[in-house]
């Protein structure tokens, strides 16, 4: 039986825990759960627990922890998505689906042809989308969203030995062994005008260019296609 799932960013090692604020409101006023009902908790750092409601009010829920375990929905190695930002609500949709597909970290990129420059407040609001998607897909670890980085900064900040895949027309056809091993894999997606020649040249010595087919894809389509390919290869 699947129980309602709640986010509790606190230590789940004690015998009891409290839900406050929006999570308490959702449990008490929306789902109308009562003492004795069982729920699931996750802390965003990889631990989840089964708990029982002991007392419930509009603003405070007390639960007893029945069992706890590490989450089982993560990929075997980290998967990083560095991407230009799509316009409008498409960014939120990308955040939700990247969370569902197991991305460990999302790095917003500022490239030469970027048309969207998200403010820090917008990036912070995306955290709510990550939490909601994590509840839905039953992840116990929240996908991290970093501050905006420009292309050169991003390339110099990452380990040079880790696989780096760039979506780019004219690249090589997909090969599953690109992501074999235990090193974190990074996927790079440019803006809808593509990476510039200078940006490709800057990364070319350390990146594998990947062709996703003859059609022109939106940012979020290319990102999720390559994430899905990497995820399937990492799990095999």
Domain holding 120, by residue range, is: 79-235
What does residue 99 show for φ and ψ, rounded to 5 degrees?
-60, -45
Instruction: Indicate whether 212 and 98 sit together in one domain.
Output: yes
pLDDT of residue 175: 92
Distances (CA, A) of 103 to 45, 55, 61, 131, 199: 14, 36, 31, 13, 24
Instruction: Indicate whether 89 and 176 sit together in one domain.
Output: yes
- Helix/strand/coil percentages in the chain, nearest 5: 30, 30, 40
Indicate the pLDDT class of residue 121, thresholds 50, 70 and 90. low
Query: What's the mean pLDDT when you consider all of the chain?
Result: 91
pLDDT of residue 120: 64
Last residue of a domain, one of 53, 70, 87: 70
Q: What is the pLDDT of residues 12-39, one digit of tens each?
A: 888 999 999 999 999 999 999 999 999 9
Q: State the Cα–Cα distance between residues 40 and 4, nearest whole angstrom.
A: 6
Give the residue from 97, 161, 158, 154 showing the smallest Cα distance to 129: 97
Q: State the Cα–Cα distance between residues 103 and 78, nearest whole angstrom.
A: 7
Between 71 and 1, whose confidence is greater? Answer: 71
């Amino acid at each position: 039986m699947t129980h309602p799932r709640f986010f509790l960013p606190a230590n789940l090692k004690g015998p009891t825990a409290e839900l406050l604020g929006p999570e308490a409101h959702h449990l008490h006023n929306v789902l109308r759960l009562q003492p004795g009902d069982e729920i699931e908790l996750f802390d965003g750092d990889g631990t989840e627990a089964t708990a029982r409601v002991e007392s419930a009010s509009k603003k405070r829920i007390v639960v007893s922890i029945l069992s706890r375990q590490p989450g089982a929905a993560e990929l075997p190695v980290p998967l990083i998505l560095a991407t230009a930002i799509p316009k409008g609500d498409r960014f939120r949709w990308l955040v939700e689906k990247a969370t569902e597909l197991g991305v460990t970290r999302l790095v917003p990129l500022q490239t030469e042809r970027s048309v969207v420059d998200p403010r820090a407040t917008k990036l912070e609001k995306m955290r709510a989308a990550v939490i909601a998607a994590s509840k839905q897909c039953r992840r116990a670890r929240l996908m991290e969203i970093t501050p905006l980085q420009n292309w050169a900064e991003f390339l110099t900040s990452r380990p040079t030995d880790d696989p780096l895949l760039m979506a780019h027309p004219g690249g090589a056809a997909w090969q599953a062994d690109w992501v074999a091993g235990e090193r974190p894999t990074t996927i790079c997606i440019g803006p809808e005008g593509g990476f510039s020649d200078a940006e490709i040249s800057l990364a070319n010595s350390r990146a594998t260019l990947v062709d996703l087919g003859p059609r022109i894809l939106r940012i979020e389509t290319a990102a999720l296609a390559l994430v899905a390919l990497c995820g399937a290869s990492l799990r095999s």
